[in-house]
Structure 1
Amino acid sequence: MVTGGHNGFSATDKIERYDGNTWKTLENKLTSPRESHCSVAISKTEMIVIGGFGGTTFLTTVEKYESDGLIIKTLQSMAIYRQNPGCTIYNNKLYVAGGIGAGGVLTDVEVYNMETDKWKPINKMNNARAMPALFVQNNRLTVLGGNGAVRSIEYLDENGMWEKSPDPLEKDFEIGVSVEVKCPA
């Protein structure tokens, strides 16, 4: 599924779905136009859409949608607005890191508990990052790249602190997407 985005003129509220053969623009739409947001799948038929820019305002809103584009629920909003954050699910919680907020590129990280419908801030990253890759690697929350820290990598340690990797990326990484895949041995 593809949600929102920018059509060359403004933010959009469109939702598109790929069925394995073709793309279809759904009749159902986002509750408001949004671009530079983040989305995560939470099941085979549900996704969460987070933050972004609504064309005239920055968004803190968080919404859960079904694969037919119907909104299931408006979740608690984030504490701070952010566009271009990284987001992922880790240990059944939603993490949102970095992005661009009121003070520029952010180091802030928030975690959403889906059972309690509550956000809480956790320790800030060492580097400010917009458009970072946020994912789980070796059962550790990992963030890399992004505008502001294009070669650095950080891991969330068992004490909830962000630890810098001694091995930076070989090349700059920003405005990209990362996906974990198993490589042949």
Structure 2
Amino acid sequence: MLQEYHPAAESQPSFTLGAFQKIQRKREILDQQSHFHLAITVILISYLQIMKMKIFIGKQDLGSAIMNGDIYSCGGLRGYITPALKDCQKNVRGHWEKAPSMNTERAGFSMTTLGDSIIAAGGFNSRGIPLKTTKESGKSWGMIPLDSIELFDGNSWKNLTNKLPRPIGSHCAVSISDTEILFIGGENIFSSRSNDIISSVIHFDINDGFTGKQIPNMKYTRKKFGCAMFKGEVYVAGGDVTEGVVDGRRKSKKKTADRTSEILNLETLVWSFNRGKI
């Protein structure tokens, strides 16, 4: 006797929730691996591009200046356990390009635009002066202050015969004409001792060298501070300072000058405190 065919009676493959979750989990793992490989590829490509463009990341105590609309960046350190650098880069329309290197490795120096040239002066040099071993690099570099000056004309750097009256670093420099620069403050040696910070101002002329023109000292000793020329006056602000020293006389033990600013009037040659604090 023929039995009536019922399709629903056939055994159907079971597809449980647990099996679905396993498949979904495998897909998620594959997606994560794909994203990880993609991220590694992007990082590798970015690294190769950075190395190709010679852009150095993490530099400190470097110099920078603008000449003919281009930003130049030179020297500096990649850490206090490494020697100073002398390489330079130029930023052209948002992209960094290799530029001619300075003749001397420098960190904590000044780079100042002077007419159609850039003046690099002073700073610290650690070339060939290993002091002790360290776990990170095997060497620790002693920093020696410099008195040398270089000029960049857009094509190459050349050493000037004129030198700073004394080696200084961590100072600030501002051009007050197309031929004149004031080198302000800084420190005589690379150390954390406050009595090495200075307040003096040195007048330099590209044609006559150091003229010996008497410029009064700042009211505070400063290093690693900012300076600029504005409407015939020189402004200085912030920085590391000698604790409690004003006009060379100890006033208190409180550190205050790192939030102050001073103004030098170039006509009267008198320094005055700017109102308010940074």
Q: Same fold (TM over 0.5)?
A: yes
Q: Does structure 1 residue 54 correspond to structure 2 residue 125?
A: yes
From 181, 187, 200, the equivalent of 1:100 is 187
Q: Which 10-residue stretch deviates more, 144-153 or 111-120?
A: 111-120
Contact 1:61 1:77 in 2 (8 A): yes
The corresponding residue for 2:89 is: 16
Contact 1:65 1:73 in 2 (8 A): no
> Looking at CA atoms only, which structure, 1 or 2, has the larger radius of gyration?
2
Distance of 2:101 and 2:114 partners within structure 1: 19
Contact 1:79 1:119 in 2 (8 A): no
Amino acid at match of 1:138: K
The corresponding residue for 2:166 is: 80
Distance of 1:34 and 1:72 partners within structure 2: 15
* 5+ long unaligned stretches in structure 1: 172-185
- Counting helix residues as a fraction of each chain, which structure ranks higher? 2
Aligned-residue CA RMSD (Å): 1.8
- SS of residue in 2 equivalent to 1:79: coil
Contact 1:98 1:130 in 2 (8 A): yes
Residue 21 of structure 1: how far off its partner (Å): 3.6
Contact 2:148 2:159 in 1 (8 A): no
The corresponding residue for 1:34 is: 106
Distance of 2:263 and 2:73 partners within structure 1: 28
Kindly provide the CA deviation profile for residues 57-105 of structure 1, in whole angstroms up to 9, marking residues without a partner as x.
211111101233x114415111122111111111341011111114511
Seen in structure 2, the aligned counterparts of structure 1 residues 32 and 134 have a Cα distance that, compared at 3 Å, is same
Q: Does structure 1 residue 122 correspond to structure 2 residue 194?
A: no
Please, what TM-score do these two structures have when normalized by structure 2? 0.56
* 5+ long unaligned stretches in structure 2: 1-71, 127-142, 190-194, 242-256
Contact 1:78 1:119 in 2 (8 A): no
Alignment of 1:58-69 (within 5 A): 58-68=145-155
Q: Which 10-residue stretch deviates more, 70-79 or 82-91?
A: 70-79
Contact 1:60 1:78 in 2 (8 A): yes
Amino acid at match of 1:57: I
Amino acid at match of 1:156: L
Distance of 1:153 and 1:99 partners within structure 2: 15
Amino acid at match of 1:112: F
- Counting strand residues as a fraction of each chain, which structure ranks higher? 1
Amino acid at match of 2:239: G
Contact 1:99 1:106 in 2 (8 A): yes
Question: Which aligned runs of 4 or more in structure 1 are off by greater than 3 angstroms?
Answer: none
The corresponding residue for 1:150 is: 258
Distance of 2:226 and 2:161 partners within structure 1: 23
The corresponding residue for 1:137 is: 230
- Aligned-pair identity in percent equals 16
Seen in structure 2, the aligned counterparts of structure 1 residues 168 and 5 have a Cα distance that, compared at 3 Å, is same
Amino acid at match of 1:152: T
Please, what TM-score do these two structures have when normalized by structure 1? 0.81
Q: Does structure 1 residue 7 correspond to structure 2 residue 75?
A: no
The corresponding residue for 1:25 is: 98
- SS of residue in 2 equivalent to 1:107: strand
The corresponding residue for 1:71 is: 157
